[in-house]
Structures are given as structure tokens and as C-alpha cells.
Structure 1
Amino acid sequence: MTDLSIEPISSTDPEAAPLIETRKLTRHFRVGRGLSRKMLHAVDDVDLTIGRQEIVALAGESGSGKSTIARLLAGVYTPTSGEIYYQGAALSSMRSRREQLAYRSDVPMVFQDPFSSLNPAFRVSHGILRSLKLHRGDLTRSQRYDEAERVVEEVGLSPAGDIMHRYPYELSGGQRQRIGFAQALAHKPKLILADEPVSMLDVSIRIGLLNLMAELRRSAGVSFLYITHDIASARYVADRLVIMYAGHIVESGPTESVLANPKHPYTDLLLGAVPDPRAPLTVGIEGDTGEPPKVIDPTPGCRFRWRCPLVVDECHRTTPTLRLLGDNHNAACHVAQPDPGQSEPADVKP
């Protein structure tokens, strides 16, 4: 993968509140009926922060809880427990429709499937203009059209007038996904939740969408939560990497630090399964063995213990919490060791 040489952009002032923060965020779903009813733990006790003008990649295999977190942040799901704070204010305190619309305008979502997110019966301009009318009601009709053309141009589609008059089926997958970003950008957002936005696209055009995310961060000051199962793309575009497994965050830190020196056996496993050809990494797990994660009425203990080659008795008894093991590098593992010179590990937030 070609190196874009993206320069990191500093996040918010340490004295200010993060752009968005979750504390003990939890979402459970009931499954089954009657006496067979059980609880699926999609997300458990997740603490996550995203700063201004920061790209955070949330990675893990299918079923790890990544998309559930995105939908919680987008307001599609309500938390079972825990809280989401936006610029220091709890989302649960936002009662009025005006406040909720303002938040959804600031934190839109770009979905995985670029075709199903667009209405095939309307031209692509319809969704952008409708979003502008809903979230930026101060604009006149002509101003909305001018703004729609501007955001279409900003995501790299031109001539904008021609693109906007097409139907979704007349666009390629990459063009449709760029329209999805244009719809989000029309709100003048502060954070875009990108749920595997390139996974359904050809490899040859994925790089263009990743470059677009980096450019929007630079030109529009937008932060991103980039959800992916592709470690290589996370390395390419993200400032920080957060690894999820079975509803828990198991490791987080600066992207290069996590990939060059993984602390959790699951991160090791991901690197072994999807190696990055740009920089071969030494991994300690030769293959994947054991049972899939148990997220329906799980028992205490590490949820990766059924597949972990480093499991010890403590892993079956106690659920590990994130500990600081390196420079802003955290892992939730009983056997993970801190970097040389690192002080005694302490519980932290990612």
C-alpha cells in the first residue's frame, strides 16, 4: 500500500473535554423467548475517547461489537448502561428534539454498503439536499443547492452538477461511497462514524477513500471513528488503534506502537492472520485454535481465554481491565508485560 505520509494532527487541548467520550458503555440484547431467554453482551464496559481532528480506528473480527459502538454513538441504539459524553455533556441529558438534531448533525454516520444507503428512486442530490434542509434550515433553496455542489466537489466528484443529477445505479461503488461522505459533510460535522466504508469496494479504489478521510480531517477539521477489520488500512490512516474482542476493548494506543509491539494475544493473532506487507512483523501465535467468543450470558474471566495460548488460571476467574503498559499503550491482559522502564501498570481509559 502506498504511503501517504499523513502528518499527525494534535488533538484537543489536554485541559478541554474530549470531542466524544464513553464511560462504561454497555449494550445488551435479549435473545430467545420464555425460559430460554438469554442476554447477548454486544458491548460491555467500554471506555473510549476521540479527540478533535483525530482518526481513531476500531478494529476486530466480525461480532466483536464494533458496529454496535458506532450505532450507540449515532443514537440508533440506547445504552443498556453507561454514558456517552459529547464535548463534556451527557447525551442522556439532551431531551429536546433541537438538541438531538444538533448532535446528529455533528456526528453523522457513513454506512458499509454505499448502495443501500442511497434511495434508488431519487437522484443522488436528493439525500444531500434533504439533509441540508433538515440540519441547516437557515439556508435558502438556492444556497442549499450551492452547498450540495460544494460538498460533492470536496469529496472529489466533478463536475458536481452532473454527478448530482445521476441515480445511484449510474455511479460506481466508490462514487456512491463518496456521495455518502458528501451527505455527512453537508452537516458540517465534527465527527464522522465510518462503519467499514471501504470493505465492499474493490482494492484498487479503497486507497482513494482512505485518502479522502485524511484530506477531510485536514481540510474540514473532521474527526473519524474508522471501523474496520483490516489492520493494514487502519495503519495507513489512523492516529490511534483500538482493538475489540467479544464486546471488550482489549488493546489501544498509537497505531504504530500497537502494531509494532502488540501486548494482547488477540492483537498478535490479528497480525498473524492479516500481515502488513509494508513492514513484516514478528508474531507469537502461529494459528487460530479454540472456541469462538462466548457473548451470550458470559461468565467472568477473559473472553479470549478459549483461544489464547498464554492462558493462566487467573484468566478463567477475573475479567482483565486495561492497564498502561507503554507510552499511551494499554492492554487488558493478565500476562501482558510492560515495556522496559515503564512504571507499575495501572488501570486506564483508552
Structure 2
Amino acid sequence: MTSVSTDQIAATDADDAPLLETKKLSRHFRVGRGLSKQLLHAVDDVNLTIGRQEIVALAGESGSGKSTIARLLAGVYRPTSGEIYYQGRPMSSMGSRRDQLSYRGDVPMVFQDPFSSLNPAFRVSHGVLRSLKLHRRDLNRAQRLEEAERVIEAVGLSPAGDIMNRYPYELSGGQRQRIGFAQALAHKPKLILADEPVSMLDVSIRIGLLNLMAELRRSEGVSFLYITHDIASARYVADRLMIMYAGHIVESGPAESVLANPKHPYTDLLLGAVPDPRAPLTAAVEGDTGEPPKVIDPTPGCRFRWRCPLVVDKCHQVTPVLSRLGEDHDAACHVAEPDPGFPVS
């Protein structure tokens, strides 16, 4: 009989596990002055998974908690409660500097503002080579230079040698954001956290960055968590879509399924905010003037109830949880209806 080592079993379990997973992830912030004990519930009981070579979009309005999740996953914030698992291993067990450096190399972040994420005092080469020196210690100086040129070419900037010798002020916003992706790619990552990476760019060049994410997923084998308030771009690039409101995930599933057949009224609201170029100029614009609340010491109940056109008494008393209502399609809503013929437990 062939024996199987503990290390082999652990490796098999890691391969079978999602690339990254959270369970009941929460982050609360103390608000007020002095002895105040009020807590802002920025993220509450969030369960999400990201698979290998998958693009997952996390969408919602400003203030919904999206960027807080990104910072939790990046290790900038510590969870108030819950756990993050990376390749099956709890993040709380990564206590050594070596473990933390390895994780941050595997899960880097691309920031929203391409104009402040690069140091204006250094040439473009500085940030890329610094990432390589910190996270790819197996490479010598010549290999680091070669790899820097490769990742810059990989993000669509050429000739790489010319780009590396420029200062950030000599680049356009789109080029700067591509350098941000190059710096992340230099880590040889498995998952890139992209926090609103196209929101500050001209509409005409956003599509190029979205195409770049899809290309890097294919060519580099990297996954993405794409954080956005733009439903249209999420539909364009994402495999799966999660909708977030006031610290809760309120709907999730395959992107096309969620957007073609939304189950939660908040998803309907987001879709209603997308301009329709086919609508007549005289058509009335209907919208919601509210915004996600600052969830301070929340009471039970649906956090969308104050804006919801379908609210019922139960919405004020019981916090809904994500329930399966279709093929891989979940929603947290008391009045949401399952797909026809779909069994509901």
C-alpha cells in the first residue's frame, strides 16, 4: 500500500480550496469622541469566494463597504470578526513576516488614483524594480531588469526601456494605471485587488484597462477582484458579480444571470441608473435620491428598507440572509422570488 504524507494531503486540500474565501468577515470602526462606544459597521458577515483565474466584480454605491473589503483582503485592516482563507489557510495564522510578505506578493493591490499611486520623484522603473527586489528575491539584478521590461510590455506599454526611463508626469493617466498593474504583476501574483482602477480615467480609455484585466487573466493566470460602482463595466469583464449595500452582500451570482434577472431591488436600482442610449430624449428620468446609510449600531432588519419600493413589515424586523434562488444565484431579500421550477429549501 502506498502511503500518503501529511504534506501531500495538505497540498491536495489547498488545490481543491478556493483561491481566496471569507467567512462571516466583519469590520467595525469606533466613531465619536471620548468614551463613545458607537460602532460603524462598515462590513458585516460577508461570505465571498474567488476561484483561480476568475474575475469577480464587487459593485455598489460609494459608502457601501467595497473598499473596506479590499483593505481587509490586502491586510491593511484586521477583521473585527470572521476569517479570510487564502488557498485554504486562515490569514490569522500568517503571523510571521515571511508569511505576510509572501501573501502580499500573491495578493497585491491596484489603487484608484493613478496620479498619486506613483512616486513623482522617481522614474517609472523604480517602483517595478523595487517590487521585484522585495518579492522576487530569487532574481539577480540583470534578471530583475529583464522581468521589469517583460511586465511593462505585458500591460501594453512599449518600448519598455523608454517607458522605464520616464517620470510619472510624462505619462497619461491610462499609462500610469498600466504601470500600477505592472507593479502588481511584478510580484508574480495569484490575485490582484483592483479598487476602482478605471473610475478616474477618461471614458474613452477605460475599455482598454478592462481588456487588459481579461488579457492578464488569460496570459498570466491571475485572478481579479474588481471593485466598481459601474455596473456596465462589471458586466463587460466579470465572470461573477456581487452586489454590496451598507456593509452586506445583497446579491451574487454569474454576472449575466444577476444583471439579466436581478432578484434584489437594490440591483434593480443600480441597473436603472445606467444610461440607455436608445431611450428617447423626452423620456423622464426616474431615480432614487438616497444613498447607503452610515450603519452605526444597526438594529435588525434589511438595511435597504428605507429606499425599497417592495418593503414589507418583515423587512423592519428581520435581517435577510443570502438564499439560493437560482442556479448559483443568491439574494438577501424577503420578497425575492426564486426562478420558476427552482427548488427552495
Whether the TM-score (by the shorter chain) exceeds 0.5 is yes
Partner deviation per Cα, 1:32-85 (whole Å, 9 max, x = no partner): 113544111000000000000000000000000000000000000000000000
Partner deviation per Cα, 1:290-323 (whole Å, 9 max, x = no partner): 6742411111100000000100111011100000
Alignment check: 8 A CA contact 2:30 2:38 kept: yes
User: Do the aligned partners of residues 79 and 292 (structure 1) sit closer, same or farther apart at CA in structure 2, a change above 3 Å counting?
Assistant: closer
User: Do the aligned partners of residues 308 and 92 (structure 1) sit closer, same or farther apart at CA in structure 2, a change above 3 Å counting?
Assistant: same
Amino acid at match of 1:249: I
Distance in 2 separating the partners of 1:153 and 1:337: 48
SS at match of 2:16: coil
Alignment check: 8 A CA contact 2:60 2:245 kept: yes
Distance in 2 separating the partners of 1:210 and 1:276: 21
SS at match of 1:117: coil
Report the CA distance between 1:138 and its aligned residue. 1.3
Match of 1:138 in 2: 138
Matches within 5 A, 1:177-188: 177-188=177-188
SS at match of 2:188: coil
User: Do the aligned partners of residues 14 and 104 (structure 1) sit closer, same or farther apart at CA in structure 2, a change above 3 Å counting?
Assistant: closer
Amino acid at match of 2:247: G
SS at match of 2:197: coil
Alignment check: 8 A CA contact 1:293 1:306 kept: no
Is residue 2:319 matched to residue 1:311? no
Report the CA distance between 1:275 and its aligned residue. 4.3
Distance in 2 separating the partners of 1:253 and 1:14: 24
Match of 2:255 in 1: 255
SS at match of 1:297: coil
Is residue 2:211 matched to residue 1:211? yes
Gaps of 5+ in 1: 1-12, 280-284, 346-350
Distance in 1 separating the partners of 2:278 and 2:330: 24
Matches within 5 A, 1:228-247: 228-247=228-247
Distance in 1 separating the partners of 2:306 and 2:240: 28
Runs of 4+ in structure 1 over 4 Å off: 275-279, 289-292
User: Do the aligned partners of residues 157 and 197 (structure 1) sit closer, same or farther apart at CA in structure 2, a change above 3 Å counting?
Assistant: same
Partner deviation per Cα, 1:80-111 (whole Å, 9 max, x = no partner): 00000000000000111111111000000000
Match of 2:173 in 1: 173
Matches within 5 A, 1:54-93: 54-93=54-93
Partner deviation per Cα, 1:92-133 (whole Å, 9 max, x = no partner): 001111111110000000000012111000001101101100
Amino acid at match of 1:228: T
Match of 1:343 in 2: 343
SS at match of 1:29: strand
What is the aligned residue count?
329
Distance in 2 separating the partners of 1:15 and 1:75: 23
Is residue 2:24 matched to residue 1:40? no
Match of 2:7 in 1: none
Gaps of 5+ in 2: 1-12, 280-284
Alignment check: 8 A CA contact 1:232 1:276 kept: no
Report the CA distance between 1:287 and its aligned residue. 2.8
Match of 1:161 in 2: 161
User: Do the aligned partners of residues 291 and 225 (structure 1) sit closer, same or farther apart at CA in structure 2, a change above 3 Å counting?
Assistant: closer
Partner deviation per Cα, 1:244-293 (whole Å, 9 max, x = no partner): 000000000000100010000000000001246599xxxxx953156742
Matches within 5 A, 1:17-28: 17-28=17-28
Alignment check: 8 A CA contact 2:61 2:291 kept: no
Amino acid at match of 2:109: M
Match of 2:287 in 1: 287
Match of 1:325 in 2: 325
TM-score calculated relative to the size of structure 1: 0.91
Alignment check: 8 A CA contact 1:289 1:307 kept: no
User: Do the aligned partners of residues 291 and 229 (structure 1) sit closer, same or farther apart at CA in structure 2, a change above 3 Å counting?
Assistant: closer
Distance in 2 separating the partners of 1:276 and 1:241: 21
TM-score calculated relative to the size of structure 2: 0.92
Q: Please, what is the CA RMSD of the aligned residues? A: 1.9
SS at match of 2:23: strand
Match of 1:302 in 2: 302
Distance in 2 separating the partners of 1:85 and 1:180: 25
User: Do the aligned partners of residues 126 and 15 (structure 1) sit closer, same or farther apart at CA in structure 2, a change above 3 Å counting?
Assistant: closer
Match of 1:282 in 2: none
Alignment check: 8 A CA contact 2:61 2:292 kept: no
Amino acid at match of 1:225: L
Alignment check: 8 A CA contact 2:15 2:87 kept: no
Is residue 2:119 matched to residue 1:119? yes
